[in-house]
């Protein structure tokens, strides 16, 4: 049983588990760690209304940081020390969050760049059930930051890249001030491969792709001139991570879209051949293509792009019909040209021409599905006032 400090109580009370676990990842922070942890501890004891603990999660320090962390854990009630030999902030957070017995797991940078007054607004929507993930943002409306021009430009460019390439809706992926419900963290962590600085971005992308509720809180943030972040190597590693997520996401969609397309094509051919004797090739093509496209849109909506709610279903079908028009126009034009060249072609030749003409339409439909029809599938997210 852990001993956790209870706010507004001068004594110490034993509780089975804290409500909030504030993890402070460290790497070679022996010179400043004690002062910062004592400052955080004092703030929580005086101002924070829920039971809490502070976990110092060291990752690969070589300067005596683990010894300082263990001493603070022995001296300060509610402070824990976790020492990991491997370097990597993400790995330290992964281990600390997985082992935590708290309801909400959070983390903040050891330099305490973010105003501590934002901690309660950060965790409140998680405890109320309003949100699954909460992140501090230096780029949201209302945020106040003090940092150098170089870091400001790099941060804005990086987040603009995420929005453009990965279609992220959150503004600030890398602010060192985040919180999650513990059950949400345990569900997301297996999907996060990175154990270093890209951990934050990958965690948020995984949350967004699963449709979790992300709340973004503007914060007051002051740059630490003694930051341990090496900008160029970190930026290169982040770009590799973005490329990995981009490729993985597109491959998953492409494989599923292709599988649905194969099934739709088989159904189309069978329907075309069955209808042609009764209504002729042009109408057979229109009916077969229309029926299979409705089914194609429905299956892609649910299976390929993961939309399971009823909201927007009719709109998606209408948009799918617009995508159908491109394929219908191409295949109809192909059949018309075929009949101009050969007035009585064999049914198999007609089907082959329709399939060939529709291949280009398939590529267009995928682009429309990916970047128009399902590009605006909502990810619940808010910016608090």
Q: What is the pLDDT of residue 359?
A: 63
Of the candidates 3, 67, 60, the residue with the CA atom closest to the CA atom of residue 33: 67
Pairing of strands 79-84, 52-59: parallel
pLDDT band at 319 (very low <50, low <70, confident <90, very high): confident
310 vs 220: which has the higher pLDDT: 220
Give the lowest-confidence range in 2-6, 64-68, 75-79, 82-86.
2-6
Q: Collect all residues with Cβ–Cβ distance below 8 Å to 35 and sequence separation of at least 6.
A: none
In this predicted structure, what is the pLDDT of residue 261? 81
- What mean pLDDT comes out for the span 250-271? 80
When the pLDDT of each residue in the chain is averaged and rounded to a whole number, the result is: 84
What is the tens place of the pLDDT at every residue in 215-247?
A: 999 999 987 766 556 666 777 888 888 888 876
Q: What is the mean pLDDT of residues 299-319?
A: 83
Q: What is the pTM of this model?
A: 0.65
State the Cα–Cα distance between residues 173 and 331, nearest whole angstrom: 45
pLDDT exceeds 70 at position 61? yes
Is position 200 annotated as part of the catalytic site?
A: yes
pLDDT of residue 365: 72
- DSSP β-ladder status, 177-181 and 104-108: antiparallel
Distance between CA 205 and CA 242 in Å, rounded?
Answer: 10
Q: For residue 300, what is the DSSP state? A: I
Contacts of 181 (CB under 8 A, 6+ apart): 103, 104, 126, 132, 133
Catalytic-role residue among 111, 132, 194, 200: 200
Which residues lie closer than 8 Å to 9 by C-beta, 6 or more apart?
A: none
pLDDT over 50 (residue 190): yes
pLDDT of residue 356: 67
Q: Which residue has the higher pLDDT, 382 or 66?
A: 66
């Amino acid at each position: 049983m852990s001993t956790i400090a209870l706010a507004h109580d001068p004594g110490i009370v034993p509780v089975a588990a804290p409500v909030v676990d504030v993890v402070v990842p460290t790497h070679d922070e022996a010179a400043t760690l004690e002062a910062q942890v004592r400052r955080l501890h004092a703030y929580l004891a005086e101002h924070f209304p829920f039971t809490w603990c502070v976990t110092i999660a060291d990752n690969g320090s070589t300067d005596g940081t683990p010894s300082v962390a263990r001493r603070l854990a022995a001296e300060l009630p509610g402070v824990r020390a976790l020492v990991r030999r491997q370097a990597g902030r993400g790995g330290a957070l992964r281990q600390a969050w997985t082992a935590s017995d708290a309801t909400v797991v959070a983390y903040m940078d050891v330099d305490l760049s973010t105003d501590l007054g934002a901690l309660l607004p950060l965790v409140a929507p998680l405890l109320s059930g309003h949100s699954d993930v909460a992140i501090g943002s230096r780029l949201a409306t209302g945020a106040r930051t003090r940092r150098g021009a170089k870091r400001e430009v790099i941060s804005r460019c990086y987040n603009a890249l995420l929005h453009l390439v990965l279609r992220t809706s959150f503004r600030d992926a890398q602010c060192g001030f985040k919180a999650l419900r513990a059950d949400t963290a345990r569900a997301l962590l297996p999907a996060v491969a990175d154990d270093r600085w890209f951990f934050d971005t990958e965690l948020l992308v995984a949350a967004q792709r699963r449709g979790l509720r992300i709340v973004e809180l503007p914060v007051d943030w002051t740059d630490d001139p003694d930051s341990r972040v090496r900008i160029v190597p970190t930026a290169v590693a982040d770009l590799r991570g973005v490329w990995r997520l981009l490729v993985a996401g597109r491959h998953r969609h492409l494989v599923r879209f292709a599988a649905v397309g194969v099934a739709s094509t088989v159904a189309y051919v069978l329907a075309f051949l069955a209808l042609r004797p009764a209504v002729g090739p042009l109408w057979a093509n229109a009916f077969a293509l229309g029926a299979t496209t409705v089914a194609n849109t429905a299956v892609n909506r649910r299976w390929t792009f993961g939309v399971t709610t009823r909201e927007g279903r009719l709109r998606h079908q209408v948009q799918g019909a617009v995508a159908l028009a491109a394929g219908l126009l191409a295949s109809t034009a192909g059949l018309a040209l075929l009949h101009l060249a050969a007035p009585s072609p064999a049914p198999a030749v007609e089907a082959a021409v329709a399939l060939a003409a529709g291949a280009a339409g398939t590529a267009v439909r995928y682009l429309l599905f990916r970047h128009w029809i399902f590009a605006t599938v909502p990810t619940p997210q808010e910016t608090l006032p």
